[in-house]
Chains A and B, each alone.
Chain A
Amino acid sequence: MSGRHPPRWLERIAGRALPAGLSGQGTLGDLAEEFQRRAAESPLRARLWYAGQTVSIVAYRAFTGTGADSMETRSDLVADLRWSFRLVLKHPGFAFGVVAVLGLGLGANAAVYSVVDGTFRNTTWWRAPDRTLGVWPERKWSFGMMELYREDQAAYRSLGGWVELAYALRTPDGASESVNGVAITPQLFRELAVQPVLGRALEDDDALLGVEPVVVLGESIWRRAFGADPGVLGSTVDISGVSMRVVGIQGSAAKAPGGRAQLWLPLVVDPREDDYFKATNLKLVGVLRDGVTMDDAYQEIDAFDDYLARLFPAFFTSDWDDGLVRIARADASQRRLISTPLLLLLGGTVLLLLATALNVGNLLLGRAIERRSELAVRAAIGAGRGRIVQQLLVEAAVLTALGVGAGLAIGAVGGPWIRELFVGQAVVASSSVLSPSVLAFVTTAAVGAWIVLGGVPVAHFLRAQRAALTLRPHSGVRVQRSLVAVQAALATLLLVSATLLVGTVDNLRRVPLGFDKQNLLAVELSPPEDRVAASTTARGLYDALAEEVAGIPGVEAVGLTDRLPLGAPAPTAPINLASAPVDQVQAPKARLHAVDPGFFAVMGMEAVEGRLLDSEDRKRGISAVVVNETLARSLWPDASPIGQRIAIDPHMWSTFLPVVGVAPDIRSDDITAPPEPAMYVSLAESPARDVTLLVRTRRDGAAVIPAVRRAVTDVDHLVPVRSVMWMDDVVRAAYSISWIVMGLLVALALLATGLGAIGIYAALTQHVASTRKEIGVRMALGAEPGEVVGAVVRSGLLIAGVGIVMGSVAAALSARVLESMLFGVSTLSAWAYAASALGVCAAAVLSAWIPAWRAGRLPPAEVLRGE
């Protein structure tokens, strides 16, 4: 006994296709016997052979209807299927066109839906989202407070913190690259939904003091910088000057703490450090134990809060009562940013699919009209109406199925592509097109498309039948024209939306920023904690950086700020007035920017009143404040702000600082909002960890970039450069979501318009063909070719006109969907509608021209003789 046996699952498939009884058993026996023979030579080849034979058996049984059951309807269906496939092979060009158009429509839907699904489905990073809570997410936790609470608590099975940091990673080619990383409590790391694909997760021992530093690399940096080499596991890499052993490769997840973090380190807490109780960007997350409710957790943390308040009275000045937040809900606010654009795009792709289905339906209708006599004959010789309807529907189904295949292929490429467009602007993810929900959506869309493109010829056939044996050629043409009008309407609707967004982006581009964004370089730096821990070292670092960079040839001015203008909005701070003290709750608020004296010069800002911050302040020992025009107006509408005294630190509510000047309003927070009240304090007085170096270069300063990088490394090689961007690009990034949505919608609108044009072309060609005689007669009676051409073009314009009216009404009714995406453009702006109508008309004239020109050249005598 050799023990070699054909793969059982293949045998089962073949067995199911074969008839029961001796025939089936004999066949399976023969196959087994031959398999033995072949397996003696090569088991692998034998398996492949068996698989091939199974496929051939299943295929033969399916197409010849001599399988296990062969009921009549089934063989009809099989016959229809074979016939439809034969039709595809017989007219490959037609089939290719149809499948390409349908595939485009379905593919666009699959792509956008896979992003929608990925973004909205993966609501959380965590394995047990229902039990995972953000603990005081708005609070500035310190390591010490976290450790106290971790020891104290009983409600959570895992409780820990994570903090996002930028690290300098030395890649195998010797370059140093700035990479976002997350330092996380190992217990918490193991609660993440995505776990390492290679190696191991972080373990509790990794976070002990004095053990060898370890790191888990993110999958994408492992692929990009380490060539997906599994040998990296166990080796050491240099991360911000520390040699760390790689213990795992973390799978990619768009939704991870830190978003695009590519390094995962154990959060090591050292109670001996000075800043043990200093507030940080630490985020606390807990996963509740079984049976513990959120209420229980509240009670526990309330008690702990009292305890903390006794320990750190100075720390508990303001009202923190946000307590516990379900992580899923916290995520929701992040997703709100992207939901409108994505749903808008999905709406656009659904409209495009409708347009493609109508287009293909029209083509099939055209073919049904051509095959009118064939269908009539078949009906006459006894093919039931049901049989013919079934045949038409099967034909549409075969084309749709092929379209689904093409669509999934397009979607598989398009989904990640669209995701990548948004990455960096918003929290997005994409599901695989083969995931159940995307497949379900595509299937639903395909069934919808099938109903449209099968329903059109069927409806025509049934009507023609009802019109009995006198099949007038116009009966289908009218249907065809109304379908084309609907296509023109869809094109109009999409064009209006696209045009409104073009206007929005144009407006955003023209927003007066208040500063000169040309030739301005923004360099984001993340000095390590210890470099800025002490204000003095930080000051030294900043001054050294500014000095070094200012010395680069081609650099005109250098300034520093605590955040990238138009990056994340600056925090707000309450303001207490020396002249009229208020409590913190009622205090007016303004955005607080920490800048160095060079900031104003590099941004091109000049004092409106008084003076701006200067380097003399430090020598004089003054902590001066500069306010912007908006804040000056709101605080002192009738008096000069100069010399006023304000307090801006909640912890030093009675320490008043002098206002020394008024700076012009600039849009450095939200580009779409009017300038907000803002104030500027000295960066040296309130050192920030992350700073942005602003460098004004001479025209064409690209050569400065490497020099700036080098200068930063020269000053301190442990200061990673997070990014180097032209301010021009940063400004563009501030409206990039509008820009991306606009681009995609414009593409969809142009596709829909193109499809509409093809529809008009097809309808008019058909029209000209079926009215040859009429045209011939008219020309014989003296009509000029120009008149004939004009008549055809006019009928094209008529179709387009009906569509434009329908589309405009639809656009006006659906304008609210778009409203939140628009800036400075009314949803009913006349020019958008006019431009769209013009576009559709132009497409109509262009596509009507060819059939019209042909009609005008018909030789009347020949046409009449031919009839």
Chain B
Amino acid sequence: MSQDYLGEFEQMVLLSVMRLGDRAYGLAVKDELESVAGRSPSSGALYTTLDRMEKKGLLESYAGESSSERGGRPRRYLRLTPAGRAMLSETRSTLLALWEGLEGALDG
């Protein structure tokens, strides 16, 4: 797995999914990205990324409830797989290692 590296947007998406817990589905992720990270990705970008990460085994999805306002289509709930968690934590520790000793450097 370590030859793959999470891109910035992928990290954000995975973190949003984690933060939302069992309420994580596409639109909620989008809202979360917007409210917390100030990013409003296009649908193309977001859903392509979700599909790609599911294909890589970082995410898994399951069907949720449907409603009339969704045209009768189910929600696609998302959660991290163990591989996804491992990847995220690996990325975090790599970044933290790189940041070590630099905490004050940007302020000066």
Interface residues of A (CB under 8 A from B): 1-2, 5-6, 11, 18-19, 22-23, 25-34, 36, 52-53, 55-61, 64, 66
Contact = CB atoms under 8 A, between A and B. Distances in A.
18 contacts: A6-B71, A11-B71, A22-B63, A23-B76, A25-B73, A25-B74, A26-B75, A28-B71, A29-B66, A30-B70, A52-B42, A53-B43, A56-B44, A56-B45, A57-B43, A60-B42, A61-B44, A66-B48
B51 to A, nearest CB: 6
Contacts of B74: 22, 25-26, 29
A55 B54 CA distance: 23
Contact of B68 (A1, A11, A55): A1
Interface residues of B, number: 28
Contact of B26 (A1, A30, A61): A30
Contacts of B73: 25-26, 28-29, 32
A264 to B, nearest CB: 52
B61 interface: yes
A2 B69 contact: yes
B42 to A, nearest CB: 4
Given A1-B68, A33-B70, A56-B42, A18 B47 contact: yes
A673 B54 CA distance: 83
Contact of B61 (A2, A6, A23): A23
B83 interface: no
Given A19-B51, A22-B63, A32-B71, A60 B45 contact: yes
Interface string B52-69: 101100000111001111
A685 to B, nearest CB: 84
Contacts of B26: 26-27, 30
Interface in B1-59: 25-27, 30, 42-45, 47-48, 50-52, 54-55
A604 B68 CA distance: 91
Contacts of B48: 57, 60-61, 64, 66
A425 to B, nearest CB: 54
B71 A5 contact: yes
A32 B69 contact: yes
A27 B47 contact: yes
Contacts of A19: 51
Nearest to A27: B47
A28 to B, nearest CB: 6
Given A61-B44, A66-B51, A29 B71 contact: yes
A34 B51 contact: no
A1 B62 CA distance: 26
Contacts of A36: 69
B58 to A, nearest CB: 14
Contacts of A57: 43-44, 47-48
Contacts of A53: 42-44
B43 A66 contact: no
A298 to B, nearest CB: 66
A56 B44 CA distance: 5
A5 B70 CA distance: 9
A58 B45 CA distance: 10
A812 to B, nearest CB: 59
A1 B52 CA distance: 35
A33 to B, nearest CB: 5
A58 B48 CA distance: 10
Nearest to A62: B44
A29 B44 contact: no
B34 to A, nearest CB: 11
Those 4 A-B pairs whose CB atoms lie nearest each other, nearest first: A26-B76, A56-B44, A29-B73, A60-B44
Given A28-B71, A29-B75, A56-B45, A23 B66 contact: no
